[in-house]
């Protein structure tokens, strides 16, 4: 479903160039639940954004459903992304002036006005315990309610994959467990999940755990001396199984 081929992403900065991705090769098959762990600044968010068609790599290819996302025109890439990929972020990224219901519907691809999602939004709100908050705006929601709204927004279009970046980073343990339970249900129903997380919340859900250090991926935990700053290190780049 997702194939990363030697992805590199460099950022210039006052202290010199940073290699956020230093040659990442990874294959993710349909139905996997992949957890990516690693220290702050090692490139996890950059990888997730690149996989989701949101951040062009400096080098390398990203194939999603056999299409090279960064070789197609931006408008087509946006269409692919909005139809097939659901995002969940640590800081929710809800639209502040829209209600819960409207925020969830904003997850639909533009032009999708079929009746089905309109019925589905009510089902999702009730499944996620948001029914009584349908007309509330994000500012009056708890963090858990905001993230459940963001989850519903990602799920409304029945995406092929959900990419979640620290989805429980701002939640208490009860709400964090709830988010993973819901991601687990989506996975059990055939969905594909890639989640970046620092915590242990994903234990019991992951079908594969990858570790990132200095812009590179490894299937095994990093050695103790692994640097927490970006740059090249000796962690082997892997072409993951699949």
Contact positions vs ligand ATP (CB under 6 A): 11, 13, 18, 20, 38, 40-46, 230
Taking the complex as a whole, how short is the minimal distance between the CB of residue 38 and ligand ATP, in angstroms? 6
Shortest separation between residue 197's beta carbon and ligand ATP, angstroms: 10
- Closer residue to ligand ATP, CB minimum distance, 98 or 238: 238
CB of 198 to ligand ATP, least distance (A): 7
Of residues 145 and 166, the one with the C-beta less far from ligand ATP: 166
Please state, in angstroms and as integers, the Cα–Cα distance from residue 180 to each residue in 28, 69, 168, 235, 242, following that order: 19, 28, 8, 29, 23
Closer to ligand ATP by Cβ: residue 100 or 212: 212
CA distance 50 to 69: 9
**Nearest CB to ligand ATP, comparing residues 23 and 131:** 23
Closest approach, Cβ 187 to ligand ATP, in A, equals: 22
CA dihedral 162, 7, 109, 193 (to 10 degrees): -10
Task: Could you list the beta-strand ranges (E) of the chain.
Answer: 2-11, 18-28, 33-37, 59-64, 67-68, 85-89, 161-165, 192-196, 208-213, 216-218
- List CB contacts of 228: < 8 A, sequence separation 6 or more: 39, 40, 41, 42, 213
Please state the closest distance from residue 11 (CB atom) to ligand ATP, in A.
3
- Of 11 and 97, nearer to ligand ATP (C-beta) is 11
């Amino acid at each position: 479903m997702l194939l990363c081929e030697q992805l590199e992403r460099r950022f210039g900065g006052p202290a010199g160039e940073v290699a956020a991705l230093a040659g990442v090769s990874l294959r993710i098959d349909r139905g996997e639940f992949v957890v990516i762990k690693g220290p702050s600044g090692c490139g996890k968010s950059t990888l997730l954004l690149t996989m989701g068609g949101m951040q062009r790599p400096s080098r390398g290819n990203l194939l999603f459903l056999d299409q090279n996302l960064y070789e197609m025109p931006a408008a087509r890439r946006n269409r692919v992304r909005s139809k097939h990929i659901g995002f969940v972020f640590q800081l929710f990224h809800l639209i502040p002036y829209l209600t819960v219901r409207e925020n969830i519907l904003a997850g639909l691809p533009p032009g999708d006005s079929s009746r089905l999602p309109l019925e589905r939004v009510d089902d999702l709100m009730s499944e996620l315990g948001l029914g009584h908050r349908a007309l509330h705006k994000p500012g009056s929601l708890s963090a858990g309610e905001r993230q459940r709204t963001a989850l519903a927004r990602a799920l409304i279009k029945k995406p092929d994959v959900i990419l979640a970046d620290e989805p429980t980073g701002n939640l208490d343990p009860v709400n964090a467990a709830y988010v993973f339970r819901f991601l687990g249900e989506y996975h059990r129903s055939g969905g594909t999940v890639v989640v970046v997380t620092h915590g242990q919340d994903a234990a019991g859900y992951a079908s594969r755990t990858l570790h990132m250090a200095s812009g590179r991926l490894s299937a095994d935990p990093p050695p103790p001396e692994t640097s927490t700053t970006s740059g090249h290190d000796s962690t082997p780049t892997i072409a993951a199984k699949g």
